[in-house]
Amino acid sequence: MQTRLLYFIILLLLSNISLADDFSDRVKGKLEAAAKKRSFSKFKQPKKVLKDAFYEEGKVIVADQYRDSLRNLESYVIGLEQKIQSEGRYTDQIDPQALAELPVGIAKTIGNLTYSIMIDQIRIFPDYGEIDVYMTFKEPKNGKRLTFAARGIRISKEGGITGDARLELIGDFPINENGETQILIKGGQLGGTNGVVSPTYVLFDCNGYKQTSIEADLIFSKELALPEDPSTGNTVDRNLTTKINTSFTDWNNMIFSVDLPAFQLKKLPGFGFSVRNAVYDMSDTQNSPLAVFPSEYLTDITAIEQPELWRGLYNQEVSNRLPKEFKSKSVDDRVGLIGQRMIIDQYGFTGLLTAANLIPIDKGQIGKWSFSLDALSVGLLKGNLQSASVDGKIHLPITKKDSANYFVYHGLFRENGDYLFQISQTAKKLDFDVWKAKVTLKKNSFLQIKKQDSLFVTKAVLLGYMDINAPLKDDNQ
């Protein structure tokens, strides 16, 4: 027997429940209005004042027990340079004639920077000699001095240096690349035969300066990004930091490779990033051939007609992880994807994440519902969120698992990690497993998805008519 129930109200409770039509209209209306009002392409925010306690730029940082000694040495070297300059005590190379009257210096200009090697003392032994050597120059960006020193550099009986000699950087030296990053070049403390032991040093020979090798920390502002614990998907409250090790001959032409540990952007919480072999550009004369900027990005740079002056971090591909609320039933790990063209510079973060068919409907779980993640698009331009959406399908457990019974959703997400979902029905009638029923929903039916404690909480309120096709059983059965 077929029974038709007029105006049958179906209440499907998967978390909470509501019966009021006016309530459902209000909720749906708010979601639609918010989605229309939200225009990511026009979304702008003023630049925030950094809360990070970055080191004072160009101020030499040393351990307390070495502070006075290193600063005294730095002051001495600066005075030594002034004396050599004022008295014209420069020579072309280190030889007995040059060492006959000290102090003496060898100046070499590379690019627009002059590297001045200075010798102030010599000690003679039966088979060899020793000289004390220093170097100082002004960092071009901030005008502060870096000072290098070495004591006891061996020379031959003929007065020349055998091979290359090494000058050590005195103290740590911070450089603010922009409001988002700081490079802390690691210098040395007192100790060892050369007076200073440092992971950052300069190589020189009889003809003067040859090259610089640096070890540094690349530190990112907390207002830009935070480190992520990949095992939990949670952020850690400290500065994102990575190591730099590179060598170069021209301080104004530094381009080097860098890896970044797992992190999340402040403006895109929940999305995990991992970066390998990114290019960090500190050059004023060229850009890496790998750096290809989006056309809309170059407007501010080309305005000064010198794009080679751009400084920052660039990577063609970035490994990403979806927020942990987008679960896949088949694996415990977060779903991964590949992002394109990541840029971090004075404007903030620029990047694009697009992907299709990330989670099939038989593998996805959102609350207690099956779901698919068919499309994702996230775009940031110069620190501003331009696009942020997800699209897919939802299957309610009470309906037959057939594409005709799926609901479709379109979700927008905000910089604070909240989501706005719009969900619509694909078919005029739904097939219910229970009672073999056909259901026609009213317009004020709705599905609701909310984020709560890094999880999605779901609710369905279905209002409409039901045709029941299940046969009636008699009392004896």
Query: What would the DSSP string read from start to end of 93-149?
Result: S-SHHHHTSSSEEEEEEETTEEEEEEEEEEEE-SS-EEEEEEEEEE-TTT-PEEEEE
**Strand, coil or helix: 398:** coil
pLDDT digits (tens, 9 = 90+) for 357-388: 889 998 888 878 889 999 999 888 888 888 88
**Strand, coil or helix: 453:** coil
Euclidean distance between the first and the last CA atom of the chain, given in angstroms as a whole number: 15
Q: Which residues of 216-236 are buried (b: 16+ CB within 10 A; e: fewer)?
A: bbbbbbbbbbbbbeeeebebe
Share of the chain above pLDDT 70, in %: 81
Q: d(Cα 354, Cα 345) in Å, to the nearest integer?
A: 22
> Can you point out the beta strands (E) in 2-58?
3-5, 9-10
User: What is the structure's pLDDT at 471?
Assistant: 63
pLDDT digits (tens, 9 = 90+) for 74-116: 788 889 999 999 999 999 888 888 888 899 999 888 888 888 8
Please check the confidence at residue 458 and state whether its pLDDT lies above 80. Answer: yes
Cis peptide before 46 (omega within 30 of 0): no
Nearest to 238 by CA among 270, 264, 267: 264
Q: d(Cα 113, Cα 92) in Å, to the nearest integer?
A: 17
pLDDT band at 269 (very low <50, low <70, confident <90, very high): confident
**Strand, coil or helix: 422:** strand
User: What is the structure's pLDDT at 261?
Assistant: 93
Please check the confidence at residue 279 and state whether its pLDDT lies above 70. Answer: yes
Region label for 367, one of left (φ > 0), alpha (ψ between -120 and 50) or beta (otherwise): left
Q: d(Cα 200, Cα 104) in Å, to the nearest integer?
A: 24
Is residue 219 a contact partner of residue 240, using CB atoms and an 8 Å limit? yes
Q: Pull the structure tokens for residue 354.
A: 């697009």
pLDDT mean across residues, the chain? 78
Please check the confidence at residue 58 and state whether its pLDDT lies above 80. Answer: no
**For 4-18, 53-67, 200-214, which range has the lowest pLDDT when averaged over its residues?**
4-18
Is residue 346 a contact partner of residue 312, using CB atoms and an 8 Å limit? yes
**DSSP sequence for 142-204:** T-PEEEEEEEEEEE-TTS---S-EEEEEBSBEEEE-SSSEEEEE--BEE-STTSEE-SSEEEE
Q: Pull the structure tokens for residue 81.
A: 């340079």
User: What is the structure's pLDDT at 258?
Assistant: 92
Q: Report, as an integer, the average pLDDT of 156-184.
A: 86
Q: Bridge partners of 314?
A: 279, 343
Residue 36: in which H helix or E strand, if any?
helix 21-37
pLDDT band at 46 (very low <50, low <70, confident <90, very high): very low
Q: d(Cα 170, Cα 61) in Å, to the nearest integer?
A: 9
pLDDT band at 45 (very low <50, low <70, confident <90, very high): very low
User: What is the structure's pLDDT at 434?
Assistant: 65
Is residue 292 a contact partner of residue 279, using CB atoms and an 8 Å limit? no
Q: d(Cα 439, Cα 462) in Å, to the nearest integer?
A: 10
Q: d(Cα 308, Cα 283) in Å, to the nearest integer?
A: 7
pLDDT band at 241 (very low <50, low <70, confident <90, very high): very high
User: What is the structure's pLDDT at 318?
Assistant: 87
Is residue 246 a contact partner of residue 213, using CB atoms and an 8 Å limit? yes
Region label for 195, one of left (φ > 0), alpha (ψ between -120 and 50) or beta (otherwise): left
Q: What is the DSSP letter of 428?
A: S
User: What is the structure's pLDDT at 190?
Assistant: 60
User: What is the structure's pLDDT at 61?
Assistant: 77
166 vs 419: which has the higher pLDDT: 166
Please check the confidence at residue 222 and state whether its pLDDT lies above 80. Answer: yes
User: What is the structure's pLDDT at 354?
Assistant: 85
User: What is the structure's pLDDT at 93?
Assistant: 86
User: What is the structure's pLDDT at 352?
Assistant: 84
Q: Pull the structure tokens for residue 435.
A: 């009672």
Please check the confidence at residue 184 and state whether its pLDDT lies above 90. Answer: yes
- Bridge-based pairing state of the strands 201-205 and 241-248: unpaired
pLDDT digits (tens, 9 = 90+) for 135-169: 988 888 888 888 898 888 888 887 788 778 899 99
Q: Pull the structure tokens for residue 377.
A: 């698009």
Q: Report, as an integer, the average pLDDT of 340-353.
A: 85
**Strand, coil or helix: 285:** coil
Count the neighbouring beta carbons within 10 Å of the beta carbon of residue 263. 21
Residue type, 354: T
Is residue 186 a contact partner of residue 215, using CB atoms and an 8 Å limit? yes
Please check the confidence at residue 213 and state whether its pLDDT lies above 90. Answer: yes
